[in-house]
Amino acid sequence: MAPKVTLEQWRAFQAVVEYGGYAQAAQAIHKTQSTLSYAVQKLEQSLGLQVLEVIGRKAQLTAAGEVLLRRSRQVLEGALSLEQVAASLSRGIEPRLDLAIDVVFPYDELLCVLAQFSDSFPDTRIELVESVLSGGHDLLLAGLVDVLVSTVVPPGFVGEPLMRLEFVCVTCPEHPLQTLQRSATLQDLKQYRQMVTRDSGPQRRFSAPWLEAEQRWTVSNLTTSIRAIKQGLGFAWVPRLQIQDELRSGALLPLDMEEGGLRYGELYLVYKDKDGAGPATRYLTDLLQASCERMQKAYTGE
Q: CA-to-CA distance for 285 and 293, rounded, in angstroms? A: 12
Q: CA-to-CA distance for 251 and 229, rounded, in angstroms? A: 9
With beta carbons less than 8 A apart as the criterion, state whether 150 and 267 touch: yes
User: Does the pLDDT value for residue 206 go beyond 50?
Assistant: no
Give the architecture-level CATH label for domain 97-302: 3-Layer(aba) Sandwich (3.40)
pLDDT at 234: 92
Q: CA-to-CA distance for 111 and 109, rounded, in angstroms? A: 5
With beta carbons less than 8 A apart as the criterion, state whether 146 and 97 touch: yes
pLDDT at 214: 65
pLDDT at 231: 94
Q: CA-to-CA distance for 15 and 140, rounded, in angstroms? A: 50
With beta carbons less than 8 A apart as the criterion, state whether 194 and 216 touch: yes
pLDDT band at 205 (very low <50, low <70, confident <90, very high): very low
Over the stretch 159-189, which tens digit does the pLDDT of each residue have? Answer: 999 999 889 999 999 999 999 989 998 888 8
With beta carbons less than 8 A apart as the criterion, state whether 257 and 192 touch: no
Strands 215-219 and 193-197, sheet pairing: parallel
With beta carbons less than 8 A apart as the criterion, state whether 178 and 171 touch: yes
Q: CA-to-CA distance for 209 and 149, rounded, in angstroms? A: 20
Domain boundaries, the chain: 7-90, 97-302
CATH code at 7-90: 1.10.10.10
pTM: 0.63
Over the stretch 75-91, which tens digit does the pLDDT of each residue have? Answer: 888 887 777 666 656 65
The stretch 223-245 carries a mean pLDDT of 91
